[in-house]
Amino acid sequence: MIMRIIFFITGIIFISLSISFIIIYINLLNMGYTFLEYVNFIIRRMEVIAFVPGVFLVIVSMLKRKDKML
């Protein structure tokens, strides 16, 4: 139970940090980057890539285990 809580909190932290950096990097569009250059830039940043493990951790924490009836 405690591991599920830790996974959930860690996943939420990863997701929120990634989304905040995506919003911060939107300023690149004002500096003359095209949308494709912007997307190409953010998919190579580690702080944005942390979104994927964050979503994975949240999903894993929400999955229910089937208890074996003995």
pLDDT by residue (tens digit) across 9-60?
A: 999 999 999 999 999 999 988 888 899 999 999 999 998 999 999 999 999 9
- Reply yes or no on whether the pLDDT at 70 is more than 60: no
Residue 43 C-alpha from the chain's centroid: 12
Q: Is residue 24 domain-resident?
A: yes
Q: How many domains, the chain?
A: 1
Please check whether residue 62 is in contact with residue 12, taking contact to mean a CB–CB distance below 8 angstroms: no
Specify if 28 maps to a domain.
yes
Distance in angstroms (rounded) separating the CA atoms of residues 26 and 33: 10
**Does some domain include residue 6?**
yes
For residue 19, the enclosing domain spans 2-48
Contact 22, 42 (CB under 8 A): yes
Q: Rounded to whole angstroms, how far apart are CA atoms 42 and 24?
A: 11
Evaluate whether residue 33 is within a structural domain: yes
Separation of alpha carbons 55 and 11, rounded Å: 6
Residue 36 covered by a domain: yes
